[in-house]
Structure 1
Amino acid sequence: MTKAIDLFAGFGGWSTGARAAGVQVLWAANHWPEAVKWHSANHPGTQHVCQDLHQARWEQVPAHDILLASPCCQGHAKARGKKSGNPEHDASRSTAWAPVSALEVHRPPAAVIENVPEFTDWVLYPAWLAAVQALGYQAAPHIVDCANLGVPQHRVRLFMVLTRSKAPLMLQLPQERHVPASSFLDFDAGRWSPIEKPGRAQATLNRVRNGRERFGERFIMPYYGKGSGTTGRDINRPIGTITTLDRWALVDGDRMRMLSADEALAAQSFPADTLRPDNHRLTMHMAGNAVPPLAGQRVIEALLEAA
């Protein structure tokens, strides 16, 4: 059986996808105890380490065939900006060096690094790429909308495929039919409130009005920010990107509510039996940071087929 390790494992999107692809995840690590707790609950057969991977003892990590990693993306994402001299962003960007250190010690046949597409705009990306290549790896960047892999969510991400091959390995990824948000939305559940109520922001009311004009009585809309403009989204399309905060609201006639944690996990393609915290905010935070398991599964399957 193909064996893998999962760096910055978080809520376990990579590990769940790998398991579905028939890959055994031997070892997983994250610096956040809460994430390790829930990853352990969902993957009890995996060895777990809770530590800053800058201090990892890679020689103690089991040998593996595929390294999977999702370094922190906040320092690269457009939403967070790229102001120089921001220590938090500098620290998050530097997590990308941990997979390089692991590759140096173990030299597995392949690795897949997931991040936002802006990762390649990082000022140190050329140095990162040079380090990877110095270790004998070819790098093949894949920019993928996870909706095209069957995830019911538009989520554009970079999957950097690293292989010890003569040329970069471009995967033959499937082009799945888009799965609509209606596949996981439950209009009979959740905590609804009247749209017309004291204190409701005018911007929200404007979004509702515009959404009704375009989509009718039932639709999804961004509750905050400028996502999807001011008209919302059709529930017969994939939902927009799930983030770490409550972002999406459901409108049904004269009532509305925020997306539930279970719906957010379903939008990310986590199995229905995934164990999660009772705390809504905590679940949303971990869900928003995760690799969609189905996307991870499809990428790994394509890698195994090409290998």
Structure 2
Amino acid sequence: MKAADLFAGAGGFSTGAKQAGCYVVWAANHWQSAVDVHAANHPETAHACQDLNQADWRDVPAHDLLLASPACQGHTPARGKEKPHHDAQRSTAWAVTSALEFHRPAAAVAENVPEFLKWALFPAWRQAVEALGYALALHVIDSADHGVPQHRRRLFIVCTRSKSPLQLHFEPRAHVGANRFINFESGKWADIHRSGRSAATLARVAAGRARFGERFLMPYYGSGSGLTGRCLSRPLGTVTTVDRWAVVNGSRMRMLTAAENRDAMGFPATYKLPEQHRQAVHMLGNAVCPPVARDVIAGIMAAA
């Protein structure tokens, strides 16, 4: 099965597609750095760097499966206060319908945050896809149920040229704890009680230590996991586009490394990341977890 990957970014959808037995013929993103990372890991794929709302679909090779992860920033509650650019980000979903109209592949999968379903224009978007001959099945999936050491709930819309929607059923895999990827010998450690450390951070450390002992994870920014942190035997909370999770080891603490974020997303250990830490974390936080993509695509292929 040949696949095309829109908004390919760090390449999680493409990686999962390859693991499911697909050949990814084309991938595109508007950010050149993301395209470069995707190309480094998927050299056999043709690449384009462009605004996909301006794409000429005649330039895209024929494919059986369209994969797409339009921007989620305009939908997620994590966006904070409404901003003008969110309108433009939400409009990226229409590139999916444009690609489907031209190529009419047998199937498509669109990934986004579950709040995508609350978008005022979602009924119109769904109607447009259905008008092209596709039946839609909505799946909200937690990556932890697919063996990824991270809780990450995402919406996967499976579109098939079939009379009825293709409802996929997955046997939940055993949850994998964060201790699978934390490397206590790596990273830049700092004393917890150094000058300038905020009272909120110190309170979170104290609460986590009282509950979990000397080694645990905690959100360094924001209020995720409350004020108590997370034990290492649990999957990590959602990886975001900025550094969020810190690991505590006795009297020291540090943020997760790019490699640990990669492993928490379920990418292969050999997957190449940008040298700049901030870029790597940003791309990973926007990515699709490869094992989830693999299982969804494998389910579609099995039903074909």
TM more than 0.5: yes
Alpha carbons of structure 1 residues 115 and 82: separation in structure 2 relative to 1, 3 Å: farther
1:22 alignment partner in structure 2: 21
For residues 154 and 96 of structure 1, what CA distance do their matches in structure 2 show? Answer: 25
Alignment equivalent of 2:87, drawn from 86, 90, 95: 90
> Residue 221 of structure 1 aligns to a residue in which SS?
strand
Q: What do residues 204-230 of structure 1 show as CA deviations (whole Å, max 9, x unaligned)?
A: 000001001111111000001011101
What secondary structure sits across from 1:208 in the alignment?
helix
Other structure's SS at 2:17 match? helix
Shift of 1:276: 1.3
Contact 1:145–1:154 (Cα < 8 Å) also in 2: yes
CA distance in structure 2 between the partners assigned to 1:272 and 1:291 by the alignment: 16
| Letter paired with 2:209 | R
2:269 maps to 1:272: yes
1:211 and 2:211 are equivalent in the alignment:
no
Cα distance per residue 1:65-109 (max 9 Å; x no partner): 1100000000000011473xx321001000000010000011111
1:174 Cα deviation after fit: 2.9
Match of 1:188 among 171, 185, 201: 185
Q: Which ranges of structure 2 fall in alignment gaps of 5 or more residues?
A: none
Give the letter for the 1:236 counterpart. S
- After the TM superposition, which segments of 4 or more aligned residues of structure 1 sit over 6 Å from their partners? none
Q: CA deviation at 1:303?
A: 1.2
2:246 maps to which of 246, 249, 252 = 249
Write out per-residue CA displacement over residues 108-161 of structure 1, whole angstroms, 9 at most, x where no aligned residue.
110000000000000000100000010010111100101001111000000000
Matched, 1:32 2:31: yes
| Per-residue Cα deviation, 1:137-193 (whole angstroms, up to 9, x for no partner) | 011110010100111100000000001111111012231000110000001111111
- Return the match for 2:105 from 105, 108, 111: 108
Alignment length (residue pairs): 304
Separation (CA, whole Å) in 1 of partners of 2:287 and 2:17: 14
1:51 is aligned to 2:62: no
Shift of residue 305, structure 1, vs aligned partner: 1.2
Shift of 1:29: 0.5
Alignment partner for residue 137 of structure 1, among 126, 134, 151? 134
Q: Equivalences for 1:56-67 in 2 at 5 Å?
A: 56-67=55-66
- Secondary structure in 1 matching 2:201: helix
Give distance in 2, aligned partners of 1:128 and 1:28. 22
How far did 1:59 drift? 1.9
1:75 aligned residue: 74
- 1:4 match: secondary structure: strand
Q: Give 3-state SS (helix, strand or coil) of 1:281's partner.
A: helix
Preserved contact between residue 112 and residue 160 of structure 1 (Cα < 8 Å): yes
Residues 262-304 of structure 1, C-alpha deviation per residue, up to 9 Å, x if partnerless?
A: 0000000111111111110010000100001111111111111
Name the SS for the 2:209 alignment partner: helix
Post-superposition offset of 1:238: 0.4
Cα deviation, 1:220-264, whole Å, max 9, x if unaligned, reads 000010111010001001000000100000001111000000000
Question: Can you list the C-alpha shifts for 1:28-80, whole angstroms capped at 9, x where unaligned?
Answer: 00010000011011000000011000111112211111100000000000011
- Correspondence for 2:196 among 188, 191, 199: 199
Q: Distance in 2 between the 1:189 and 1:276 partners? A: 17
Q: Match for residue 224 of structure 1?
A: 221
Residue aligned with 1:36, SS: helix
Question: 1: distance between equivalents of 2:199 and 2:81?
Answer: 31
3-state secondary structure, aligned to 1:68: strand
SS of the equivalent of 2:109 reads strand
**% identical equivalent positions:** 61
